[in-house]
Structure 1
Amino acid sequence: MLFPRAVVCTRQLAVAGPRRFASTSPPAGPAKPSNLPYLLLGSGVAGIATYIYLEKNGVGSKKVEEKKQEKSPLDPQNFVDFKLKKIEPYNHNTAKFTFELPENEASLLPVASCVVVKSSDPEALKDAKGRPVIRPYTPISPSDKKGELTFLIKKYDSGKMTVHIHDLKPGDSLSIKGPIPKWPWKMNEFEDVGMIAGGSGITPMYQILNHALTDPSNKTKFKLIFANLTEPDILLREEFDALKKKYPNNFDVIYTLDKPSSDWTGSTGYVSSDLIKKTFSPASAGEKVKIFVCGPPGQLIALAGKKDGMKQGEVGGTLKELGYTEDQVYKF
């Protein structure tokens, strides 16, 4: 700070003209104490304070690592109320419902798993026996998505829970309990995975696909047969088409419609044995292949057999006719 001032003063003297003082030095007086030690000390203290501030706030060369989240804000033993953050209409009868997670935390839901939900008002939604209506749903948001838990929910006029959820407004709450573990996904456990989904039964398939395909270590090849009534009923179509384009060697999707329009060029009708044989690896592939099935009860029974309560039950239907065993088939 002293040098710039000295330069300015020198220039001012030069402009003013000839010097007006004697060439001899003035008489020596008592020496004045120097301020330099104090200036250096002040600079040192300021520098140390600045360094501490930068290090504390992660601005310096050594950034402070963010504390790793170890626990999910969800509770597998108890229902917890979560506030509805936003609603995004998807099609004529389906919408995305995003709930806010506290402290900007992630859900940390394992793949594959679901949650169960009920009304936050214990008197608002009950069955014929006076018990709370509880339904399972699979979130479509990644498990590491911070601050949000998103569901894609189709409204059924006869479905008490779907009607209730579609009547919610941002700011309202829904009680959620989970996770409820389903299939414990392990990377590269299988060479080929076949998936058959119907309607809103697509969500657990999307959870697995979005998790596995985006992992650089994935080598598993996935084939998805997605059955719907009409073309507008196809959920997450943009997402699946994007995954197919990005991972063409590891993922393919076949859409089939019960009631196609005149300009539909894809597959039509129910999921048949011919379509399965043409799409999936055969049962003779043994432990190298796995088939996941999720959809309406009628479709599930026709393709893979009825579930035994919470248990898988015996394999039946079309998949049994094609030779697939209980070890090769999983029913969501």
Structure 2
Amino acid sequence: MSTAMLLSATTRQVGRTQLFRTAVRRSYATEAAPKKPSNLPLYFMGAGVAGLGGYFYLNSTGKSVITQEKSPLDPENFKDFKLKKIVPYNHNTSEFIFELPNNEASLLPVASCLVVKSSDPEALKDEKGKPIIRPYTPISPPEKTGELTLLVKKYDNGNASKHIHGLKEGDTLAIKGPIPKFPYKVNEFEEVALIGGGSGITPLYQIVTHALSNASNRTKFTLLFSNVTEADILLKSELEALKKKYPTKFDVVYILDKPPAGWTGPTGYISKEVLRQHVAPANLNEKVKVFVCGPPGQVAAVAGKKAGMKQGELGGILKELGYTEDQVYKF
């Protein structure tokens, strides 16, 4: 049966189909925002499709494709995944590409993350002997087949990041997920500001690449990305490519603590003036959303401290500028 015939059969069965969603348990992550409908992935189990043992889903471009029955990831249990390739990115960051079995896709909902720990139960423990578990947001798209890519910055005091950087191709890492964060829906907002620092770029990158790849997207995104030096800017070439491809829908402003000679962009900390200049005003109400992810000190200064795994009260510069808790989400 052709794909067109399958799609036709599926359409006739819509009245009898069941929306299939996988329930996942939250742990080691920020408390999810109130649940809203999400458009990736949408699974429809139809008579013709079920006979093939697969599902239709609408990908980020709105095209229907046949894919595997479920994600190879497990939200309840850690599974070992083999490190396929390491791609150095800069002086302290590399891409770690893990192999997904049977050339499957991760099907991670946007936005969500994973949690990782050592495959060796005797390695990567804290001072109490408990496994160290840390969250990471993949930079590979949910529909990417056969691979899952983590962009990991090595920190001097980061035990998990040092462990991952110590892995060799062929080694494994224990991964659990997805861990849902914010259920992003295309065109839910007119303006979205993404405020990030350092490796906090990854969940922001996940959202913006997902949204911009949808042909129906009308939301304007502005990224304010703070780093120490120009060499520390992660995903810069990818961000510049997005800016070139979507000039009316995406803009990026880099802020550096230690700028090079001739730097014309903002410097120092993300200030009230920078936010006022580049972020859509709070009086747009539900039409504007601000996502924040970065070092704890930066998040606190911009949007107030998080309360453990919960959002915490809104504070910082965004509160001073009149934004409300409904308008801000802290990863």
TM-score category of the 2 structures, normalised to the smaller one? 0.7 to 0.9
Say whether 1:138 aligns with 2:137.
Answer: yes
Say whether 1:156 aligns with 2:155.
Answer: yes
What's the % identity of the aligned pairs?
Answer: 70
* Residue in 1 that maps onto 2:306: 307
Separation in 2 of the partners of 1:331 and 1:241? 24
* Residue in 1 that maps onto 2:187: 188
Amino acid at match of 1:326: E
Q: Give the ranges of 4+ consecutive aligned residues of structure 1 lying more than 6 Å apart after TM superposition.
A: none
**C-alpha displacement at 1:157, in angstroms?**
1.3
Say whether 1:126 aligns with 2:125.
Answer: yes
Separation in 1 of the partners of 2:261 and 2:66? 56
* Residue in 2 that maps onto 1:258: 257
More helix by share: 1
* Residue in 1 that maps onto 2:83: 84
- The 5 Å alignment of 1:139-288 reads 139-288=138-287
- Residues 71-118 of structure 1 show CA distances to partners (whole Å, capped at 9, x for unaligned) of 100000000000000000000000000000000000000000000000
Structure 2 unmatched ranges of 5 or more: 1-63
Separation in 2 of the partners of 1:284 and 1:246? 29
Say whether 1:109 aligns with 2:77.
Answer: no
Separation in 1 of the partners of 2:165 and 2:309? 27
What SS does structure 2 have at the residue aligned with 1:267?
Answer: coil
What SS does structure 2 have at the residue aligned with 1:239?
Answer: helix
In structure 2, relative to structure 1, the CA distance for the partners of 1:217 and 1:67 (3 Å cut) is closer
What SS does structure 2 have at the residue aligned with 1:92?
Answer: coil
Separation in 2 of the partners of 1:265 and 1:234? 16
Amino acid at match of 1:190: F
**C-alpha displacement at 1:309, in angstroms?**
1.6
Separation in 1 of the partners of 2:65 and 2:269? 50
Separation in 2 of the partners of 1:233 and 1:208? 21
- Residues 164-202 of structure 1 show CA distances to partners (whole Å, capped at 9, x for unaligned) of 000000000000000000000101000000110000000
Structure 1 unmatched ranges of 5 or more: 1-64
Compute the RMSD of aligned alpha carbons.
1.1
What SS does structure 2 have at the residue aligned with 1:324?
Answer: coil
In structure 2, relative to structure 1, the CA distance for the partners of 1:112 and 1:66 (3 Å cut) is closer
**C-alpha displacement at 1:247, in angstroms?**
0.4
**C-alpha displacement at 1:66, in angstroms?**
7.9
* Residue in 2 that maps onto 1:30: none
Give the number of the structure with larger relative contact order, counting CA–CA contacts within 8 Å between residues 6 or more apart: 2
What SS does structure 2 have at the residue aligned with 1:217?
Answer: coil
Amino acid at match of 1:318: I
In structure 2, relative to structure 1, the CA distance for the partners of 1:218 and 1:67 (3 Å cut) is closer
TM-score (norm 1): 0.80
Amino acid at match of 1:306: K
What SS does structure 1 have at the residue aligned with 2:300?
Answer: helix
Q: How many residues align?
A: 268
**C-alpha displacement at 1:264, in angstroms?**
1.8
TM-score (norm 2): 0.80
In structure 2, relative to structure 1, the CA distance for the partners of 1:66 and 1:111 (3 Å cut) is closer
In structure 2, relative to structure 1, the CA distance for the partners of 1:98 and 1:327 (3 Å cut) is same
Separation in 2 of the partners of 1:314 and 1:193? 20
Amino acid at match of 1:254: V
Separation in 2 of the partners of 1:263 and 1:90? 24
**C-alpha displacement at 1:262, in angstroms?**
1.1
**C-alpha displacement at 1:126, in angstroms?**
0.3
**C-alpha displacement at 1:261, in angstroms?**
1.2
Amino acid at match of 2:122: E
Amino acid at match of 1:295: G
Separation in 1 of the partners of 2:100 and 2:320? 45
**C-alpha displacement at 1:263, in angstroms?**
2.6
Separation in 1 of the partners of 2:88 and 2:156? 17
Separation in 1 of the partners of 2:263 and 2:65? 50
Separation in 1 of the partners of 2:106 and 2:165? 22
* Residue in 2 that maps onto 1:36: none
- Residues 196-238 of structure 1 show CA distances to partners (whole Å, capped at 9, x for unaligned) of 0000000001101111111101000000000000000000000
